[in-house]
Amino acid sequence: MSTYKFVAKDLMTEKVVCVHPDTPIHTLIKILIKNHINGAPVVNKEGKLVGVVSKTDIVEYEEKTSKKQCQSSKKSFYSDTNGKLKKAFDKISKVKTFGKTMVKNIMTSRIITAQSDDTI
């Protein structure tokens, strides 16, 4: 019996929507909603990957700045099985402006990368 080994290219998206560190959060929200995505790589002016940002980062930033404590902030948006983070993001995206806050203020700078032929 043979087993197939998945490689990154089996699951990856080739046309990736990227944002810049100076992208305002309100613009990021529009980009995520328009493209039906939960997050995006952050690239600098030279196109170098400098971080990643997600809906979870937006929700956690809003909770931190509004001094709310929410148990759901400890979970990842990608494993939001009960939908708490999705509901929080949907609410935030409709009412919050985030002022001059930019992606660089909430993104994760520690990045893990893989090559397209790396085994998953």
- Categorise residue 63: left if φ over 0, alpha if ψ from -120 to 50, beta otherwise: alpha
Contact predicate 23/43, CB 8 Å: no
Q: What local confidence, expressed as pLDDT, does residue 4 receive?
A: 77
Contact predicate 80/72, CB 8 Å: yes
Task: Look at the domain 15-106 and name its fold.
Answer: CBS domain Like (3.90.1280)
Instruction: Name the pTM for this structure.
Output: 0.73
Q: pLDDT (tens digit, 9 = 90+) per residue, 84-112?
A: 767 777 777 666 667 789 999 999 999 98
Q: What local confidence, expressed as pLDDT, does residue 72 receive?
A: 45
Q: What percent of the chain has pLDDT over 90?
A: 48
